[in-house]
Structure 1
Amino acid sequence: VREPLDYAQVAKKNALNDLASEISVEVKGESFLNTLEVNRQFHEEFVSNITTTTREKIEGYEIAGTYETSDEYWVYYRLSKAKHDMLKREKKNQVLNAAKDLFLKAEDAAITHNVPVAIDMYLRALLEMQEYWTEVNQFEVRGETVYLDNEIYSKLRQLINELQIEPGTTRIVLKHNNRYLEELNVLIHRKGNPLAGIPIEYLYDKGKYMRPKSSVSGMDGRARVLVNDVHVANKENSLVIELNIEALIDESLNQRFLKPLIASLKTQRVEVPIEVIMPKAYIASDERNLGVPTDGQPMRSTIQNLLAETGIQFVTSPADADYVIDVVASTSKGGTSQGFHVAYLEMNMTVREAVSGNELYRKSLSNVKGLQLNYDAAGVEAFKKGGQKFEKEILPKLIDTLL
């Protein structure tokens, strides 16, 4: 330390730390923190934070004396317990009054069903008196003595418990007729009153990781929920909808303490079963190897087997189908090379609606090469390689078209 002023500041800090260490933070049995259902880590972190804050805000001290030698500087502070307690009571009374005002604003907003404002005011009221969560905070509100922070939290919890989600259906049915897409207008209400500005999150199995999607209710109390691209193999799939109260926390507020507090609140969780009715398809195929109709129609068999693995059903008549898949495939001679015969496959496929005839998808394979000891075997080889190329290049888009 180079200057005398630095000696004084360091000595003052050390003295006040010693003084503050005599003031302990005790978590009273009836305090808000003690009744709050949060994890142990949060509890300990909060007490530590309050202890630090208490030391930083110590008041009512005075200099009792100083002492200095050539290499030491001492400063003595005296804390009047009576004065300290008086200042603390005055400050606490101011804080509780401010919290009460916020609480009453929250109550007024709740009466008019302005839930986002009510929740915001309840949270601000709790944060206003955060320094006293470890204490018993009896205070008069509208002529009645209450434990103020507990009362605020109780009203907040009651409000959130009263929020209801109505999906408008007991089952979501995805099928060919709705293009495997369903849009719900989910109603958020409180005691039958539609609520605007309420955020929700929803989730369902898509066969891969899905981040929860968000939506917010409009003035009519309805939030848009879109269900599509579901995992069709999951027969127990369901849409899960939850209130996202955390999204209502203002960014300017203390997120570190409010998020665990919000997480301790129980909110409604709604599940709606998802049923997928797989489409029916009919394959019309014309397949020729060197101009001769093939045995077993290999391209048709490949397409049907691959699509059947997804659950798509196949029928024997286009009249019973949702989709018609037209396949035309043929091979032609491609000459010889080093004693081997070459054949090339050309394949054209179209997918159309069975009823309307509207074309939905078209794809071709060209110059798929087969190499064997004779032309007929080379054609068979070209069909085999065509099936492999179909699975790799065409199948994913075809499935997307059908589902």
Structure 2
Amino acid sequence: MKRLIVLAAITSILFGCGSSSKVAEIPPAPSWVQSRPNLPGYYVGIGSARKSTPDYQQAAKQNALADMASDISVTISAKSVLNSFETQEYFSEDFRQSVRAEAQKELEGYEVVSTWEDQNTYWIYFRLSKDKYAKMVAEKKATATAKSLDFYDKAIAAINANDSKTALLMLIRALEPIKPYLNESIAANYNGKDILLSNEIINQITSTINSLIVSGPDELTAKLGHPIKGSELTYTVKNKNGIPQNSIPLKFTFSANSYLSKSSTTNNEGKASFDVEAVRSRKKIETAKVIVDVESIVKEATRDFAISKAISRIKAPTTETRITITRPSFYIASDEKNLNQPLNQTPLADALRSNILKLGFPIADNPNDADFIVNVTANTKPAGRANQYIQVVMNLDVNVQNKEGNLVYTLSNRRIKASHFKAPQAGANAYKDAVEKINSSIVREIITRVIRGDRAY
């Protein structure tokens, strides 16, 4: 009986402890978890993370800081440089998000108000005094402004020295320290003069880019299938004072080939050259365009997306060259025999000449005046009999050379068989077949190789 009483007492104690433990494990959620608190004079950040998340406490902290950063409003001052971007809503919103991200990185001086967790989720509650935050921002803004002014001063020195490239690099870098404050008017004093720093920097970037003058050939003539040498496509960049500009990146495009885009940088004389491997357009007129590669300068100065996007709005100086495309000329030379006897007429040369003219290419009367020389050699010889028919075979060779003697096209030892009751007529039939091959394919193959240019030789 005594043992039963002791057992009952132990059971009662165990069940009582278990019930009390279960209540302690799941306390009710505090009000700040259920609804976001509104604390006058404070920024608030609430963050949570599932406990299944690796390092869930750190994840909740980052979420709380992001929440606090979103509580810090980003307004664009009427006097700020960004006010001119307000019509571009996509840019303004991108900038606001960028500023909030920067604010999250820079947040400090916040305090933990409380934490709470249940079996699945961990919560944390931060607050930051608005007065304390404003003081911190003012101190950082002053430091950033001083750094920016240092870059700005170097940029002005470069402008006075007629060095546009260095000036642009320094001006773009001057924006980086003050980027978090571009939505505000940033007052500064430079050489005894009060300025709105960010506005002044953007104005100087715009004016420096606009002062660059790109010049080159207004027009030139090029031949189809031939290259355009760099000596023909040389461009110069000068500033408004007429001083050649070194190290300015240029981008070259050619209307005949939408995939062709080349880059070059000006030398000490402000010059940069481009070449076209071969002109392949059958149009009469094409255009070469050269533009100052502002994007390349920006990438050299900064990797900041928002700054790059802002400067990309500035129109880059450009120039164009009108290119008149002429067609190369051909000279036809032939040695045509039938059964080793020279022909009185030249059917193969005539077929080549006729087809080349039909495709719009001129024929030269003198080999020295031609861009390409077509050599045709043909002869027939007996090849036995087939019943009452006499068979012959023609050996046909066609090659095309350019002025430099490079072989552009070759058709070697093409054998063409024909037959007839009489050998000379069998040879004539072989020539008819050869003319058909010239009409159907050989001339088109020659023109295709010529248009493709030296790369195909």
User: Is the TM value for this pair above 0.5?
Assistant: yes
Distance 2:222 2:118 in 1: 87
Q: Which residue of structure 2 aligns with residue 31 of structure 1? A: 80
Q: Which residue of structure 2 aligns with residue 173 of structure 1? A: 221
Which of 171, 196, 203 is matched with 1:154 structurally?
203
Which of 225, 231, 238 is matched with 2:274 structurally?
225
Which of 402, 407, 417 is matched with 1:370 structurally?
417
Instruction: For residue 210 of structure 1, give the secondary structure of its aligned residue in structure 2.
Output: strand
Q: Alpha-carbon deviation of 1:336? A: 4.3
Instruction: For residue 159 of structure 1, give the secondary structure of its aligned residue in structure 2.
Output: helix
Contact 2:286 2:325 survives alignment (8 Å)? no
Gaps spanning 5+ residues in structure 2: where? 1-49
Q: TM-score, normalised by structure 1?
A: 0.82
Q: Alpha-carbon deviation of 1:10? A: 6.0
Q: Alpha-carbon deviation of 1:158? A: 0.3
Which of 133, 136, 140 is matched with 2:189 structurally?
140
Give the letter for the 2:397 counterpart. Answer: M
Distance 2:209 2:83 in 1: 21
CA deviations 1:72-111 (Å, max 9, x no partner) are 9776544222211111111111111111111111111121
Give the letter for the 1:22 counterpart. Answer: D
Contact 2:251 2:261 survives alignment (8 Å)? yes
CA deviations 1:269-319 (Å, max 9, x no partner) are 111111234344332333234456668634223433443356431244557
Which of 350, 360, 364 is matched with 1:301 structurally?
350
Q: 1:37 to 1:302 in 2, by over 3 A?
A: farther
1:332-351 → structure 2 map (5 Å cutoff): 332-336=381-385, 341-349=391-399, 351=401
Q: Alpha-carbon deviation of 1:359? A: 4.2
1:39-188 → structure 2 map (5 Å cutoff): 39-64=88-113, 77-167=126-216, 169-174=217-222, 181=229, 183=231, 184-188=233-237
1:196 aligns with 2:246: yes
Q: Which residue of structure 1 aligns with residue 362 of structure 2? A: 313
Aligned length: 394
Which has the higher mean CA deviation after the structures are superposed, 388-397 or 28-37?
388-397
**% identity of equivalent residues:** 26
Instruction: For residue 267 of structure 1, give the secondary structure of its aligned residue in structure 2.
Output: coil
Instruction: For residue 194 of structure 1, give the secondary structure of its aligned residue in structure 2.
Output: coil
Q: 1:86 to 1:387 in 2, by over 3 A?
A: same
Gaps spanning 5+ residues in structure 1: where? none
CA deviations 1:158-196 (Å, max 9, x no partner) are 0011111121x33212369x9764623321111211111
Q: Alpha-carbon deviation of 1:345? A: 2.8
Distance 1:68 1:312 in 2: 85
Which has the higher mean CA deviation after the structures are superposed, 267-276 or 74-83?
74-83
1:6-21 → structure 2 map (5 Å cutoff): 9=58, 12-13=61-62, 15-21=64-70
Q: Alpha-carbon deviation of 1:248? A: 2.1
Tell me how large the CA RMSD over aligned residues is: 3.7
Q: Which residue of structure 1 aligns with residue 295 of structure 2? A: 246
